[in-house]
């Protein structure tokens, strides 16, 4: 009887350790954001028409190019500050990046938080106004949908949030 209890305990311990090890291995591999992504829905902001993002991810960087149709008035809302730049490059290890986004220099730091890629950013000042915020990128389990959660603030006290959903082309 004692031998049977020890055997069952040993098998249970091995099964638990294997399950935990597999779970850790799956969690440690960040998702791949590479590909062409077309905007399919937006909440909290009005993005430009035909907004398409092309991302290329390596182990160290995320390179983003974006294309869209300019609005007739040429203006975008606070929520999209920094995102509507033709080309951006981010280090994914928390080092500071510098990118040009319209009249602003975009200072950002990007890091993995589990399966989410989090970018904390701030702009230089332009005409007495600056912006800061956070972008959180995630990919659906099937890899076909990319979500961008946006949090943005202005130096004048405005705050906005939005969610953009993209589908793989």
Whether residue 115 sits in one domain with residue 88: yes
Among 161, 148, 83, smallest CA distance to 118 is for 148
Is the domain of 150 the same as that of 114? Answer: yes
Task: Look up the pTM and report it.
Answer: 0.81
- Render pLDDT for 95-119 as a digit per residue (tens, 0 to 9): 999 999 988 999 999 999 999 999 9
Closest CA to 146 of 57, 22, 48: 57
Using a 10 angstrom Cβ sphere, with 0-12 exposed, 13-18 middle and 19 or more buried, the burial of residue 153 is: middle
- pLDDT band at residue 13 under the 50/70/90 scheme: low
* Judgement on whether residues 4 and 75 belong to the same structural domain of the protein: no
**Average pLDDT over every residue of 128-149:** 96
Domain holding 153, by residue range, is 31-168
Q: Which residues, other chains included, contact 2 with Cβ-Cβ below 8 Å and sequence gap of 6+?
A: none
Q: What is the rounded distance in angstroms from the CA atom of residue 166 to the CA atom of residue 37?
A: 5
- Tell me: do 41 and 62 sit in the same domain: yes
CB 56 within 8 A of CB 34: yes
Mean pLDDT across the chain, nearest whole number? 87
Question: What mean pLDDT is predicted for residues 146-160?
Answer: 96
Same domain, 22 and 36: no
Least confident stretch, 20-34, 36-50, 109-123: 20-34
User: Lowest-confidence range among 22-26, 98-102, 109-113, 162-166?
Assistant: 22-26
Q: For residues 40 and 62, state if they share a domain.
A: yes
pLDDT for 27 beyond 60: no
What residues are paired with 147 via a beta bridge?
A: 138, 165
- Are residues 73 and 106 located together in one domain of the fold? yes
Q: How many CB atoms lie within 10 A of CB 81?
A: 25
Q: 40-72: string of b/e by CB count within 10 Å (b at 16+)?
A: eebeebebeeebebebebeeebbebebebeeee
Same domain, 160 and 92: yes
Domain count, the chain: 2
- Residues 11, 79: one domain? no
Q: Same domain for 132 and 100?
A: yes
pLDDT tens digits, residue range 50-60?
999 999 999 99
Instruction: Pick the range with the lowest mean pLDDT from 40-44, 102-106, 159-163.
Output: 102-106
Has residue 150 got a pLDDT over 90?
Answer: yes
Same domain for 22 and 39?
no
Shared domain for 16 and 67, answered yes or no, is: no
Q: How confident is the model at residue 17 (pLDDT cuts 50, 70, 90)?
A: low
**CATH number for 75:** 2.40.128.20
If pLDDT is split at 50, 70 and 90, which confidence band does 81 have?
confident
Q: Comparing 142 with 1, which gets the higher pLDDT?
A: 142
């Amino acid at each position: 009887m004692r031998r049977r209890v020890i055997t069952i305990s040993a098998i249970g311990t091995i099964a638990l350790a294997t399950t935990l090890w597999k779970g850790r291995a799956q969690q440690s591999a960040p998702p791949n954001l590479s590909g062409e992504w077309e905007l399919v829905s937006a909440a909290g902001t009005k993005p430009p028409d035909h907004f398409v993002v092309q991302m290329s991810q390596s182990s160290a960087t995320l390179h983003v190019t974006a294309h869209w149709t300019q609005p007739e008035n040429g203006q975008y809302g606070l929520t999209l500050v920094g995102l509507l730049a033709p080309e951006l490059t981010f280090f994914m290890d928390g080092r500071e990046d510098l990118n040009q986004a319209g009249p602003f220099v975009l200072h950002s730091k990007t890091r993995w938080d589990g399966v989410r890629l989090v970018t904390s950013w701030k702009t230089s000042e332009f005409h007495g106004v600056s912006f800061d915020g956070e972008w959180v990128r995630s990919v659906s389990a099937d890899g076909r949908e990319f979500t961008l959660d946006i949090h943005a603030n202005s130096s004048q006290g405005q705050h906005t949030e939005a969610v953009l959903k993209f589908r793989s082309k």
